[in-house]
Every structure is written in C-alpha cells, then in structure tokens.
A and B are shown apart, each in its own frame.
Chain A
Amino acid sequence: MQAKSGLQKSLQRMNWGDVLLNRVGALLGLIIIMIGLSFASPHFLSFRNLMNVAQQSAINSIVASGMLLAIVTAGIDLSVGSILALSISITGILIVNMGWNSVIGVIIGLAVAAGAGMINGLVLTKLRLPHPFISTLGMMNVARGLALIITNASPISGFPKWIQFVGAGYVGRIPFSFILVLITVVFFHFFLTRTTLGRHIYAVGGNIEAARLSGIDTDRVRVWVYTISGLMAGIAGLTLMGRVNAAYPLAGLSYEMDAIAAVIIGGGSFMGGVGNIWGTLIGAIMIAVIRNGLNLLGVSPDAQTIVIGLVIIGAVYVDVLRRRRRTA
C-alpha cells in the first residue's frame, strides 16, 4: 500500500509539460505525418491499423531504449542486431532442440544478451579502446558468427504458447508487445531521471573527464550501459521470436540502424549528454508509422528506405534549427 502511493505520487510529480515541450518537435512531426496519412489512406486511422503500427514499432522501441543509453554517453552500440540473433538462437536450441524448460531457456537467452553487452563494455573500458564503435563493431561480427555456427545457419521453430503471446498476443484489443514497450518506457523514464546510475549516464555523456574527477566510476557506468543495451536487444529478440514463432541466426539484421534513427529523431545527439526515452519512443513510432503508411499507399519497400533516410536527415535538421534559434 505504502509503495503504491509512493509510485502514484511520483507519477503525479512527473513534469508532463516538460516531457512534451522538450520533444514537441518530434511529436509535432509525428502528428503531422499521421494527419497527412489519414487523408491519404482511409485505412490508416482505423484502430486495428494503429494497433498494427504499435506492434510493428515494438521491437525497434525496445532495442532503441538500450541504444539511447549508449548514445547519451556519446557512444553507440552496433551489436544489438547480432546480440538479438545470438540470444534467440541459444534460447531456440535450448527449448526446441534440447527440450529444456522454456522459462529457463528464455532466461539463459536474456543472460547471454546481457553478458554479450557486458563484454562490449568491458572491452571498451579495460582495453581503453578509443570508441565503442570499435568494441561493438567487433561484437556485431562475433555474435553473428556464433549464432550462425550454433544453429548451422538454419532456423528453429515451434515455441510454446507463452512465448508466442509475448510477440503476437493481445490483451483485449491491445498488442501485448506494445504494453511491454510502455512498461519499458516508464521504467526507463524513472531509471534515467531519478536514479544515480541514470544521472551518471548523462554526466558521462556531458563531460566524461569532469564526471571522473567528480568521483563517478565512469568505467562502471559504461559497462552498465552496454550490459543494459544488450539485455534490451535480448528482450526485443524474445518479442520477435514470439511473433514469428521462430529463432533464426540472421534475425535482427540492421536493427542497430533503425534504433539509432529512432534515438536521433527523438532528440538524441552523437555528442552525448542529451536525449530521453519519450523522444526515442516517438522516433520509433514515427519510423513504424511511415513504413505502415507507405505500405498502405502501395509504395515498394525499396522506395520506403529512401523516405526513411530523408526523414532521419530532416528530423535532425529541424532540431539543429531549433537549437540555433535558442542560442542566437
């Protein structure tokens, strides 16, 4: 009872105005695109289609929340797609091929994902590599290779109902995967704004030397960041595995790019120190909305890629303009 009222109080104290204002650019963009699409296609604004979009954005939203941490520290995590594949490959082998208990199989898969992320962080900090681009580019290749080897490069299918529910199930008329996203977002909001580790992540991104001299263990912070990013890739993998009822070693190809795009559209900066989970969510939804809308309009997937590319550049440019006005 006590704890519940504490949470309620915290939710009330959240500055919603600030949350919206900070991301008003991306949110406004999303609303404009949605209004445009609702005129262009009669199907777009149907509840069913919107829930489709929510489901389609789920995996990227989850991967992007981990990516956000890396980008806030002025880093990057290129290995998320490969970690996702390695994680579900191991889960698939344990559950389907070896007949293990599915809960244990999933937990081990998630542990592998978090562990691979932790290795990213340790390699970065212990070997004093110049940039996480290197460590995660390495992991991107290593994890993908491992996934291909252990699965003999072939897919594994036939998962229990509860795993399928995570990816494809509905609670009422709302996809469970989107509920998972909302839980993730609320959790990340409190994590990033109200815990010491969360604030230290911003400190590391804002000025890593000042952070270190302020007594913050910057190595430990970064190891956590990549561990969490790996774990989120594992959770996204679970969702994907449930949706398609299969684990395959080429899963998650180029997911890192969509996740980076979502974070950047949502106001993250490669310079580090800025970005928030709400913007990232809006960024991920925007990418899904555009894909969905172009599908409804019959635009080919190849041409869709071009539009996404232009949106990324446009979104960042709008942000640059806004910042310039603010400092002028």
Chain B
Amino acid sequence: MSTPFLQLRNISKAFPGVQALDNVSIDINKGEIHALLGENGAGKSTLIKLLTGVHHWDSGTVTYDGKELTSITPSQAIREYGIVPIYQELNLIPELDVAENIFLGREVLANERFRIIDRKEIVRRTTEILETLGQNISPTALVGTLGVGKQQMVEVAKALSIEARLLILDEPTASLGEDETEDLFRVMRQLKDQGVTIIFISHKLDEVLEISDRFTVLRDGKKIVTTEAEGASKEDIISYMVGRKLGDQYPKMATTQGDVALEVRGLSTASLLSDISFSAYRGQVLGVAGLVGAGRTELARAIIGADPRSSGRIFVNGAEVQINSPKDALKHGIALLTEDRKGQGLFLGNTVLFNATVANLKRYVRRILIDVNRQKDAAAEVVRQLGIKTPGLNTMTLQLSGGNQQKVVIGKWLNTDADIFIFDEPTRGIDVGAKVEVYNIINQLIADGAAVIMISSELPEILGMSDRIIVLSEGRLTAEFSREEATQEKIMAAATGGINHAS
C-alpha cells in the first residue's frame, strides 16, 4: 500500500471567533481527482488557503510527496511544491496576450542584461502546452478577447507551464457553459493520466459525481466523510453536507396565474437582442433558459434600463412605461438581482444595515433626517424574515457567506416597493441548503402576488421552479413552454437551435 501523495493529519485552524478547521484528516492519492464539498463556511476555502500558503495551520501535520512540511509560503507552494490554485475569479491580465500571461513573472529572456523578453520562445512553448491540452487558442490573442472558458484554459496552461503537481480548481465551472465544462473535464482527465493530482471544488453535484474519483465532505470545519464517487448519489452528498435529509430540492408549490405584471414587446439592443416579446404574470415564476452568451443577462439589463435598448416597448400592469434607468425601473416596481453578486449587487465594505436599506432610504426619513431606529427595524425584519445568519446589523457584508450575502441583496429589494423581481442566477455559488431557502423566498414572493422572472443556467432549477419557460438563443427568443410541456431535451434543442431559425 503506497503512502498518499498528500496527507493531512489532525489539521486545525482557528480565526477570531470561529474554528474554521477542526481536527481534519484527509488522504489524497497521486493522480486522483478529489472533490472537496461542503456548504459555504464549511472550511473548504480555509483548507485551500493552508495548502497554498495564504494561512498557516495551528496544529496537525501535512505530508506532501513523502515529506513532512512544517510550513508553506505562497511562493514555495508554487515554485517548490507545484501546488497551483486556479480561483473562480481568474487572475489573468486582459491587456496582455496568452503567451505573456502564461509566462508572467517567469519571462524567458533573450537578453539578460537588458531583460528583453524572448517572444519567439514563449510563443513556441505556449503553442506546445496549448496543443497538449487540445486547445485551439492563439498564443498571441489578447486574453481579454477570449471567453471565460478559454480564459480558464489559459490558467490551466499556465499551471502546466510551472509543472503543477497538485492543481486546485476552485469552482472552475461556475461560469462555464456545458460545452466548455465538457472541454475542461476532458483536460482534467488528461492531466490525471499524466499523474497530476487535482483537488476540485464545486457546488454542482452532478459534475462532482461525473468527474471525481473520490470526494471529501466538510461541515462546520469538521471532516464528515471521504468516499468513492462511484456508487454515491446526489442525495447522499447533500445529506452529508447539510447533516440531515433535505426535503424536496425544488420546493415548488401550486400557483395560480394572476394578471400580466410585465409585458415586453419587440425588445432589441444594438449588440445582441433581437425582437424579444414575452409576458410575466403575477403569482408565477417565468424561467429564462439559454446557453452562456444567449443574451439572458442582457435582456434583464435592457428591461430595467441599465443598458440602452434600440427598440421595444415595456408595459407594467397593462400600461406602457418609459424606463431609461434602474431608477425608473424601481419606480415601476421592477428590481434586478444581478448575476454578479459581489461586483454589482453588494456594497461589500458596508454593513448589513446599509445594504439592506440603501435602495429605499426615503422610507426611513422623518422630516429631513433618516430615523436610524426605523432603518434598523426594517433591516432586522429582513434578517429575521430571510433567516440571514449574521453576527449583527453592523457586520460588513464581506464577512458573510455567499448564501447570506445573496439573502442580503434580496432583502435590499424586499425593503423597496418592487413587486416584479428579475433574479439572474439567484443560486449561483451558494450551497444546497441556502438554495432551498432562496426557492422558498421566491415561493413566498409569488404567493404574495409578485411576478418573478428567474434566469438560470441550471436546467433542473429552471424545470423545478418555473411555471412557464422562455428560451433564448443568440439574442432571439426561440421557444416558450408551459411547466407541463417543458423537458430538458426540448429546452436544449431550443437553446442550441437558434441558428437554424435565424434567417
């Protein structure tokens, strides 16, 4: 029996007020794809940060490739040990080309004295690496011009150029479409065959079961289980993660179709969208499906006036309205929960109180000043109503977990007069338990007579939660289904079939 490639023994790590890792032991074998699972705050990120030298463990031992390591610095991790992390937020410079990015900081020099870069050599080596990955990417293309999937491949290529032995992928598929995900998995299997060990973090459990050899589940800083992926089911993983059997993953309730809340007629934009018309009804969820780049987020932004429309009319409650800015949209009761939670939804450096009330401060003004008590009451009410786990109202939102951050953003809109909610990827990057809570909030909203438009890349979510479904493909609306007629196959056909319809 050979010793594991990476052996963690009784690892503990505490931060002020929280035991992030508690006596965790994991063995990872050479050349395996090992998934690390757990809800947000379970300790996955902390574990990764210990391995990459960002933090140091309080107690326990780490044995790597047969050697016990007493400490790891970030530069040691990469240069000496070949431990290379690829984060969800890619660390590439968009203005540099692919080859320059791959050799950034490790440039090959043509002239030592004047430190002139040997372009020919880095382009040649980049070509070589990209070929082994089977990627058709030009080494001289600017990274900013590549799609997210290709950029991810550039990160992988970069990792290979440093001869990574332990590759850590932190939610690599979160922003990838299905084709790109398949491509990434193919490359992962190829690397595995070459003896690279891979730690893979994902919230998409289907993917975990598909790609990983084994997985480890963490909960509240403790290891719950390490087991073979083969033979395991999604339900098993979920119950490990949340520590209980979860009821229905999609708690859909019976709904009744109300009046038309929002009607969009002939909406087009200069860049992508073409002649889109649909209606969203009160008391219902309208699912918006489509591949990455189909124009779903663009549609949401065009409706609320965040981006300009080239044509199209919008009706709220049957009357035509002029919406040229998010402010106008909110005036007519339309709110957008953005896909990019941190970049466009939250004020990370501000408190829960600030975030939960900032969209409608007028409501708390008495005479000319904001009545802080009223403001606190309103924030406390959404914290209670949405079950937001936060130490207090004055906690910075950047200290909350992803699921709780998402609930704070939802809370911001609940504190306004909005009753038409556009949710763009509302459960992206949040854990299973929090997902169900978000679905329950959506159920509550429509039960109260709101209209919800839910954009999602996850078909099971679309099928599980929508009353009606529209499908976009390359900026056009290609199909509309009722809940009863919709199937995964029909939606995929409409999502990929836009090309055929386009004349």
Contact = CB atoms under 8 A, between A and B. Distances in A.
Interface of A: 6, 10, 13, 190, 194-196, 199-200, 202-203, 206-207, 209-217, 273-274
B347 A206 contact: yes
Contact of A210 (B304, B330, B347): B347
A190 B346 CA distance: 24
Given A203-B358, A215-B326, A216-B358, A273 B370 contact: no
Contacts of B406: none
Given A202-B354, A215-B329, A210 B344 contact: yes
B305 to A, nearest CB: 10
Contacts of B494: none
Contacts of A10: 369
A274 B350 CA distance: 9
Contact of B372 (A194, A210, A214): A194
B349 A195 contact: no
A214 B329 CA distance: 10
B185 to A, nearest CB: 33
Contact of B367 (A6, A196, A203, A216): A6
5 contacts: A10-B369, A210-B346, A213-B336, A215-B329, A215-B416
Contacts of A196: 361-362, 365, 370
Interface in B299-335: 304, 306, 325-327, 329-331
A221 to B, nearest CB: 11
B395 to A, nearest CB: 13
B254 interface: no
Nearest to A203: B358
A209 B307 CA distance: 12
Interface string B371-389: 0100000000000000000
A80 to B, nearest CB: 26
Nearest to B398: A327
Contacts of B350: 202-203, 206, 273
B348 interface: yes
B354 A215 contact: no
Given A10-B369, A199-B358, A214 B326 contact: yes
B372 A13 contact: yes
Instruction: Pick the most buried of A6, A203, A211, A214: most chain B CB atoms within 10 A of its CB.
Output: A214
Contacts of A190: 369
Given A215-B360, A216-B327, A216-B359, 20 more contacts: A6-B367, A190-B369, A196-B365, A199-B358, A202-B354, A206-B347, A206-B350, A207-B344, A210-B343, A210-B345, A210-B347, A212-B326, A213-B306, A213-B336, A213-B345, A214-B358, A215-B327, A215-B331, A215-B359, A274-B349
B345 A195 contact: no
B412 interface: yes
B412 to A, nearest CB: 7
Contacts of A200: 358, 361
B368 interface: yes
Contacts of B348: 206-207
A214 B416 CA distance: 10
Residue among A196, A203, A274 with max Cβ neighbours from chain B (10 Å): A196
Contacts of B365: 195-196
B341 to A, nearest CB: 9
B350 to A, nearest CB: 5
A7 to B, nearest CB: 9
Interface residues of B, number: 32
A195 B368 contact: yes
Contacts of B331: 215
Contacts of A210: 338, 343-347
Contacts of B368: 195
B455 to A, nearest CB: 15
* A interface secondary structure, majority: helix
Contacts of A209: 343-344
B370 A206 contact: no
Given A199-B354, A202-B350, A214 B359 contact: yes
A194 B370 contact: yes
Nearest to B363: A196
Contacts of A214: 326, 330, 358-359, 412
B349 A206 contact: yes
Contacts of B369: 10, 190, 194-195
A199 to B, nearest CB: 6
Given A194-B372, A207-B348, A209-B344, A217 B354 contact: no
A327 B470 CA distance: 44
Contacts of B370: 194-196, 199
A203 B347 contact: yes
B378 to A, nearest CB: 14
A199 B361 CA distance: 8
A15 to B, nearest CB: 9
A128 to B, nearest CB: 13
Contacts of A215: 326-327, 329-331, 359-360, 416
A207 B346 CA distance: 7
B391 to A, nearest CB: 15
A208 to B, nearest CB: 10
A110 to B, nearest CB: 21
The 8 closest A-B pairs by CB, nearest first: A215-B330, A206-B347, A214-B359, A196-B361, A194-B369, A215-B327, A209-B344, A194-B370
A213 B338 contact: yes
Contacts of A273: 347, 349-350
Nearest to A213: B326
Contacts of A194: 369-370, 372
A212 B331 CA distance: 13
A274 B368 CA distance: 23
A196 B363 CA distance: 10
Nearest to A6: B367
B197 to A, nearest CB: 30
Nearest to B55: A328
A214 B412 CA distance: 8
A207 B412 CA distance: 15
Given A195-B369, A196-B370, A206-B350, A217 B344 contact: no
A302 to B, nearest CB: 39
A207 B336 contact: no
A207 B398 CA distance: 13
A298 B12 CA distance: 59
A106 B330 CA distance: 41
Nearest to B340: A209
B9 to A, nearest CB: 26
Contacts of B325: 212, 217
Contacts of A274: 349
